[in-house]
Structure formats: C-alpha cells, structure tokens
Structure 1
Amino acid sequence: MESAIHNSMQVASKLLEKQAIISNNLANISTTGFKEKFNYLVRNETKNTKNLNNFSNTQEKEYYNFSAGTLNYTDRKLDLFIKENGWLAVKDANGQEAYTKNGHLMLNNQGKLTVQNHEVLGDYHSIYPSDNNLKISSHGIIKKIEKQANKFIESKIGSLKLVRLPNENLLQKENGLFYLKNLNKNSILHDDSIKIQSGMLETSNVNPTKNMIDMISNARQFEMEMKMISICDQNEEYANRLLDINN
C-alpha cells in the first residue's frame, strides 16, 4: 500500500515538472528565437530490475527542439536571422558568455548593442555603434553609415561574435539564454562560416497544438495519480477498521 502511494507521488511530481515546462513553452510562443523544451525519463535497466513502476532507477533528461521557427520579415536593419545552427554571443547579467537565437538588436542608453538588455559581444571587443544608422553584413560585420559631401561613407566599427555550438551540450537557464554545460566559456571562438540575414527575425518554434494536447494529457494523468493515492488511503483506512473489529 505504502509502495503504491509512494510511486503515485513520484509520478505526480514528475507530471508537475513536465507541466511547468509545457506552460513555459506556451508562454513563449511570441518570443523571438525561442526553442521549445521537453523532458523525458530514461530507465536504467539492470538484471535486478523487477518493478517497472519503481522510479528510483530512472533518470530525467532534457531535450530542446532546435529546429528553426518561421521567418518574420521586418525590414529593420538591426533585426537579424542567424542561419542554420549558428548562435549570437551575448553577455549575461553576471558577465558570463551566453548564446541566443534572438536577433532583435537594440541600442541601450550607453550606446551598446543589446538583445533583451544583454550586451551583444563582438568577435574581439565590445561594440559601441552610438546610433541606429548601421549596416550589418551577412558575416556579422557592422558598419556605420555617414553622409559626407553628398555621398555615403561606410566605416567598420566591429563584428558580431557568431558561434557554432554542439546542441547536445547546451543548457537553457531562467533568463532564456543558452549556456555550454561542460566546456570552458572561452573555448568557443567566432566562426566565420556562420551567416546572418538582416531585416528578418526567427519566430518561436513552439507547436501550440502539440503543447496544449500534452498539457491536457498531463492534467488527466495527474488526476489519475491523485485518485490512486486517495483509493490507497481509503483502503488503508478500511483495513485498519477491520483490524480494530477483529481485535
């Protein structure tokens, strides 16, 4: 009896964690460059494994869907689509290097390029464009455009740090940015082969229909586990009454 209650509680706990992930996916449907997340259980099979409902021999794994979202054409020079498996490097609030697919660049009050208030990193140094009159090439080279004597002059002010990352070694934190799990943050260098396209943004790749179905399914499973706990509790109470009568 106690074993059944314990297993149902473990299942219910996992379902709540899964429901939180699905809720976060749905909440970020409109977030530029967002990648949906899943989790699943991997059973460590051994010769001594007898009870299939025992969760003590399972391990929880995270999975991110890194497929591209649809493209939204904005015709804004500071909106970037980072192609294929390329990533844009930024600096988080703690000064640590992190990575994002969100290419909606903005200029903050200090004249720095930012993404969601995180400083965008250059391949060699910080970037201070100071104004929005910029041009970004397909290789991430940033040029300032100035009009002089009835002609436009382009001058390079920096380059974006674009990297290629191993998907299996990425972890997303609460700030929405991705980090490398095991590698040193300074070990990833700028990759000249990464291409970008200005004037467009990659939308979230969340599938709302699938996530809604998963949410409903999880809710029903959770209710079943709660009923199982309630039934086990009632059976235990009836058993105790019978023991009292017999005594």
Structure 2
Amino acid sequence: MESAVYKSMIAANQLLEKQSIISNNLANISTTGFKEKFIFAIQNQNVKNLYNNYNKITKEYHNLSSGTLNHTKRNLDVFVKNDGWLTVKDLNGQEAYTKNGHLKVNSNRKLTIQENEVVGNNCNIEIPNNITLKILSNGTITSTIKKNKNIIENKIGALKLVRLPSQDLVQKENGLFYIRKNNDLLNKYSHTINHDNEIRIQSGMLEESNVNASQNMIEMISNARQFEMQMKMISMCDQNAEYANHLININN
C-alpha cells in the first residue's frame, strides 16, 4: 500500500511540473522568438531501492521550429533564418543567445534586445545619432546619411550570428538560451561560440512564438484529469489503511 501511495505521489509531482511548463508556454504565446518547452520523464534504471525504483529522471527539451513571421517593415526588426541565433550579453555580462530579433537603440547608443546588449562580430556596435540604419542579410549594419544631395553609406559593425547545438541548450529564467559547460563548440579561452558566416537574416520581420495553443490546452486538461486520478488513488489508499486499522482494533 505504501508503494502505491509513493508511486501516486511521484506521478502527481511530475504532472504538476508539466502543468508549470505548459502554463509558461501559454503565457508566452505572444512573446517574440519564444520557443515552446516540454519535458520527458525517463525511468531511472540505476536505483534499486524499492521506493526509489519509481523515481524518474526529468529532461527538458525545446521545440526549435520557426514560428510564424510578422512583417513589421521596421529596419531594426530581424528574423534569423533556420538554426541561426543572435548573440547578446545578459545583465551579468555573460554571453547568451536569442531568437528575438526586436532590436532597439538605448540611451547609450547601444543596440539591445530586451535591455540586453547585442554582441557584435569582433566589433563594438555603437549607433551614431541622426542616421538611417540598415541591416544586411549577413548581419552587417550600415548607416545611410544624405549629404549635399548624395547618399553616403558607412559600415557601423556586424551582428554576431551563431549556430547552436540543440541538445546542449539551456534556457534560464531571463528567457535567454545558454550552452552547457564543457561543450566542444565553446571557445576554451572565452567560453563563447564563434560567429558563423553562413547564417543569414532578414530585416523588416520578426519571428513570433511557436507555441501551439490548442495542443498545450489539450495537454493541460489531460494532465489535470490524471492529477485527479492520482489524488483519488492516494485517498483510496488512506481509506483502506483506516479500514484495516479499524478491523485490527475490533479483533483485539
């Protein structure tokens, strides 16, 4: 009986964890570049204890397929094609990666994404005042100035575009993605990923969230029903234990 209760408790905890992931997916259904997350519970074969034998290892995965494209026609909105990623520095100065291509210029004339500074390809990107920006398909940033009826175009810098191994991605609470430590692609001196010259972007559009709302809602309802079943199982075991104790007391 204790084994049945233990199994039901483990299952209920896993269902609560799944519900938390699904709730986060639905909450970010309108977040630019958001990637749907889900978890799998894998049986832990290394533990032989009677109770711990039912423990499962939880692994987190992300759906990295592209979301729908929103044509904004804004010069500082970019869509990173295929498996490419934009590089930023988080608030702690650590390099991180995102699919959110909604770039802004802050008060210090730096390009940012959600207040995180955009990292340049071997350059420090600083945006001059009173210019028109243009971002080319290879990530090069140029400025256009009209002077004496002539249009002057200058290179300001270039975005650092990277290709990441999906199996080694970790997403933190800030919504940014990071590479697991000891990955072979990490530069052993700077602990960062090198720029990939083959990655291409398209300006004037944004990639929306790839969350499938209907599928997540169905899974949420299914998980809720399964959770109810586990709670009923625990309740039934408690009732059976009470009946058994009552019979023992009568016999005594």
Is there any run of 5+ residues in structure 2 with no aligned partner, and where?
Answer: none
| 1:200 counterpart = 2:205 | yes
TM-superposition CA deviations, 1:134-190 (whole Å, max 9, x none)? 011000000111111112111111100000111111011111000001234634111
CA distance in 2, matches of 1:103, 1:214: 30
Structure 2 counterparts to residues 177-192 of structure 1, below 5 A: 177-182=176-181, 183=183, 184=186, 186-192=191-197
The TM-score normalised by the length of structure 1 is: 0.94
The answer to whether the 8 Å contact 2:45/2:53 transfers is no
Structure 2 counterparts to residues 40-79 of structure 1, below 5 A: 40-45=40-45, 54-56=53-55, 58-79=56-77
The answer to whether the 8 Å contact 1:121/1:127 transfers is yes
CA distance in 1, matches of 2:128, 2:229: 58
CA distance in 1, matches of 2:123, 2:191: 14
Give the Å deviation of 1:126.
2.6
Partner of 2:246: 241
TM-superposition CA deviations, 1:189-209 (whole Å, max 9, x none)? 111110000000011100001
Structure 2 counterparts to residues 1-247 of structure 1, below 5 A: 1-45=1-45, 54-56=53-55, 58-131=56-129, 133-182=132-181, 183=183, 184=186, 186-247=191-252
The TM-score normalised by the length of structure 2 is: 0.92
Counterpart amino acid of 1:75? K
The answer to whether the 8 Å contact 1:71/1:200 transfers is yes
CA distance in 2, matches of 1:153, 1:51: 75
The answer to whether the 8 Å contact 1:80/1:201 transfers is yes
CA distance in 1, matches of 2:53, 2:40: 15
Give the Å deviation of 1:110.
1.1
CA distance in 2, matches of 1:161, 1:15: 39
CA distance in 2, matches of 1:203, 1:219: 28
What percent identity do the matched residue pairs reach? 60
SS in 2 for 1:156: strand
Number of aligned positions between the proteins: 245
The answer to whether the 8 Å contact 1:112/1:130 transfers is no
CA distance in 1, matches of 2:52, 2:220: 22
TM-superposition CA deviations, 1:27-85 (whole Å, max 9, x none)? 11101111100101122458x989899422x3211111000111110000000000000
CA distance in 2, matches of 1:102, 1:223: 38
Which stretches of structure 1, 4 residues or more, deviate above 4 A after TM superposition?
48-54
Counterpart amino acid of 1:96? Q
SS in 2 for 1:214: helix
The answer to whether the 8 Å contact 1:143/1:155 transfers is yes
CA distance in 2, matches of 1:170, 1:64: 9
Give the Å deviation of 1:92.
0.4
Q: 1:64–1:161: structure 2 CA closer, same or farther, 3 Å change rule?
A: same
